[in-house]
A and B are shown apart, each in its own frame.
Chain A
């Protein structure tokens, strides 16, 4: 069963003669364990699509179903979007966006506490998660004292804190060199495979393209093509 189903989702900004269709009706689905990329040049609509599947912007038309629950069906379905997002989606940002006055461990634990976990339980699980990301030794460091790569790993830890079924990453390798970018890609793949999460990455970083299972090509607001990579074929993925 797909983790994310997007069916005829479109986005139009403005009204009347000022209306601009930023995303033409797009349909696709992403399974658990799948690592997908939204690829396209600036203005292609990939960020708009990301905002729609992040449940930040309400799509103008279409249906979005996440983890078996319909969130939009040509309009809201009554789901508390912010709470649903907190419970089901993890975010990884290009600039990491760690809370600067919280330590690495606190940044990860915060998301768990927002989801109702107790302070001690959140701290213990955050430490475990940082261990999984091989950065437990930097748990008490503030973001300003972490390297770019370390910050990225903490940000990934935060994204995984509530064990979300969907992880969305916005240009996670754009600010990294090829070696570090490759490590992040490997980590995202590991997350997808081991945790059975669907991982969708917005990127225009063609260096990392081969690391994905599926690539959704966007151009001028349209989903123009879907490519299954060698990695995806090895995993036995069909075009969604």
Chain B
């Protein structure tokens, strides 16, 4: 006779309620796993999905993700001329917050050379890549845009020609791809009042330097070169080229910082992602510990509730394995059923969750194993208590 099963069947409501409660807690643990891994996946998504071998950034800078980096637009030409470099492309990257589709949305704009340059959208799920030099964009579906949609950024409207899925920056914000000139224009474009103020300031600076007003007016355009900078240059190596040697050459001769994709990844993980990952990891560990303690308590209480029955079983001569089996089965049933329900809840939560959730099968299995071990440990404690219960407890009033 399966005593555990009989107990569960007779107290089904209580058992289901317990499983539901534990499952809700476990689902938070599972979602935390997803948030933790999603945070890392988001953080390195752009690095992993930009088909480049080297990232060249401003000297002494850890850019373009961890800190700002500004380089002259033309620098990509001298980098392209470096021995071992097959291709070098300018790359612009900045975060913006604008009204899109009627709501204020934060996104990161990527500007790249749309005519064969590096850094463009890798996987377009609908539509095509940008083919015109101006006013076309590829947007991630997270922005809620569809093909043919038009978005006003600054003074121009851009038409969505392609849609990506899961293209995000390190904060999980969706990406917008523009041609490099468009991206620079959106980034640096100033309104007329700001332009007038800047022009006036520069004019006064030239006059203070001794230039007559007429000459100062002619020199003025040379001082407004904001649009001529990029944030990084992406490099693809020639077949057989040594990345270390090429990087050293660029570092020594062109005075830029160079990172391989792996180094850029490390920069991101050790910098921007480190604190958030530590916080999420801590929360995850705490939640898991709390879950195990709660499961342990429930298993223990379930056993204590039956202690008189256990004493009776011992008194009427039931072998120890009958009692051990009853406790262990209930503990395993509780843990496994709770995890299964938690897994189902997780699947329900995922589609509507505002951040990227990344689940690793190994990690989910490890979480299950830890929970199961907790349940078994708790049942061992309960078994220890049950086996120490004297049968004479069943006697008397």
A residues near B (Cβ < 8 Å) are 47, 50-51, 54, 56-57, 82-87, 89, 91, 93-95, 97, 99-102, 106, 109-111, 113-114, 119, 142, 158, 170-171, 174-175
Contacts and interface: CB of A to CB of B under 8 A. Distances in A.
Contacts of B315: 54, 56, 85, 91
Given A93-B395, A100-B309, A114 B319 contact: yes
A114 B316 contact: yes
B322 A114 contact: yes
Interface stretch (B6-14, B71-79, B130-138): B6-14
B64 to A, nearest CB: 65
Given A83-B319, A94-B396, A101-B3, 15 more contacts: A51-B395, A57-B392, A82-B317, A86-B316, A87-B317, A91-B394, A93-B395, A99-B309, A102-B1, A106-B1, A106-B6, A110-B1, A114-B316, A114-B322, A171-B396
A229 B391 CA distance: 32
Interface string B295-333: 000000000000011001111111100100000000000
B144 interface: no
A50 B7 CA distance: 31
B351 interface: no
Interface in B8-46: 9-11
A96 B316 CA distance: 13
B396 A170 contact: yes
Closest 9 CB pairs of A and B: A86-B317, A101-B10, A101-B7, A97-B312, A85-B317, A99-B309, A170-B395, A82-B317, A113-B1
Given A85-B317, A97-B312, A106-B1, A56 B397 contact: no
A97 B319 contact: no
B317 A97 contact: no
Given A94-B397, A101-B10, A170-B396, A82 B319 contact: yes
Please indicate which of the listed interface residues A95, A99, A158 has the most CB atoms of chain B within 10 Å of its own CB.
A99
Contacts of B313: 99
B326 to A, nearest CB: 10
A86 B391 CA distance: 13
A229 B46 CA distance: 97
Given A54-B315, A83-B317, A101 B6 contact: yes
30 contacts: A50-B395, A51-B395, A57-B392, A82-B318, A82-B319, A84-B317, A85-B317, A86-B316, A89-B317, A91-B316, A93-B394, A93-B395, A94-B396, A94-B397, A95-B397, A97-B309, A97-B312, A99-B3, A101-B7, A102-B1, A102-B6, A110-B1, A111-B316, A114-B316, A114-B317, A114-B319, A114-B322, A171-B396, A171-B397, A175-B397
Nearest to B310: A99
A56 B389 CA distance: 12
A85 B308 CA distance: 18
Interface in B148-183: none
Contact of A114 (B9, B318, B397): B318
B314 to A, nearest CB: 8
Contacts of A89: 317
A83 B308 CA distance: 20
Contact of A101 (B11, B392, B394, B396): B11
A107 to B, nearest CB: 10
A141 B280 CA distance: 52
B396 to A, nearest CB: 7
Nearest to A144: B10
Interface string B379-397: 0000000000011101111
B40 to A, nearest CB: 47
A113 B316 CA distance: 12
